[in-house]
Amino acid sequence: MMVNLRSSLSSLISHIPPGQFGRYLIVGVWNTAFGYSTFALFTAALDRYIPFSYLAASLLSSVLNITIAFLGYKWFVFKTKGNYLKEWSRCLVVYSGAILLGLALLPPSVFVVTYLTEDPRIAPYIAGALLMGFQVILSFLGHKTFSFRDGDAATVECNKPRGCQ
């Protein structure tokens, strides 16, 4: 069982260039902290004005966070050159799926957390944090295979000793 797990894990990560996953984790930690902070800030700021403020906060923070995350992934993780609009558009597609999933799962998650904690004031914050973990994993896979895919030779940084040919 353990050998099969190691083999499967090795097969999965063999397609990730050395250092890329570590850089992803660094940017991911920043994006997660920044993203959750903006979600919490917008939720708190909108709470007295809008019912279910956590939904509006999720949308507002997502727009800001997508742009910040895009730049971190482009410059630091995948190190692509040019094609800002094309790659940003692809990031929007990847993140749109995560946002829609988050919006669909947030109300039932808030309900469950409220039931478990018996505190409706903290439930949106806990539910938002839990869902963010799933979104991080799905987003990496989407960016790796779509937003910054290696097959798009015009956008990939050339690391060959003699330059790109």
Q: How far apart are the C-alpha atoms of 155 and 78, rounded to whole Å?
A: 10
**pTM score:** 0.59
Q: Which domain holds residue 122?
A: 33-147
At residue 162, the pLDDT reads: 43
What is the mean predicted confidence (pLDDT) over 77-91?
A: 89
At residue 83, the pLDDT reads: 87
Q: Tell me the sheet residues that pair with 80.
A: 156
Tally the domains of the chain.
1
For residue 101, being part of any structural domain is answered with yes
Q: How far apart are the C-alpha atoms of 60 and 64, rounded to whole Å?
A: 7
For residue 140, being part of any structural domain is answered with yes
For residue 108, being part of any structural domain is answered with yes
Write the Ramachandran bin of 150: left for phi over 0, alpha for psi from -120 to 50, otherwise beta: alpha
* pLDDT over 90 percentage in the chain: 37
For residue 15, being part of any structural domain is answered with no
- Is residue 21 within 8 A of residue 13, CB to CB? The reply is yes
Confidence grade of residue 8 (pLDDT, cut at 50, 70, 90) = low
At residue 20, the pLDDT reads: 80
User: What are the tens digits of pLDDT across the range 13-61?
Assistant: 666 677 887 888 899 889 889 999 999 999 999 999 999 899 999 889 9
Of 85, 79, 99, which is closest to residue 139 (Cα–Cα)? Answer: 99
Listed in order, strand segments (DSSP E) in 116-165 are none
- Is residue 127 within 8 A of residue 36, CB to CB? The reply is no
For residue 45, being part of any structural domain is answered with yes
For residue 155, being part of any structural domain is answered with no
For residue 75, being part of any structural domain is answered with yes
What is the mean predicted confidence (pLDDT) over 77-99?
A: 88
Q: How far apart are the C-alpha atoms of 132 and 130, rounded to whole Å?
A: 5
For residue 16, being part of any structural domain is answered with no
At residue 151, the pLDDT reads: 58
Backbone angles phi, psi at 50, to 5 degrees: -130, 130
At residue 148, the pLDDT reads: 87
Rg (CA), the chain: 18
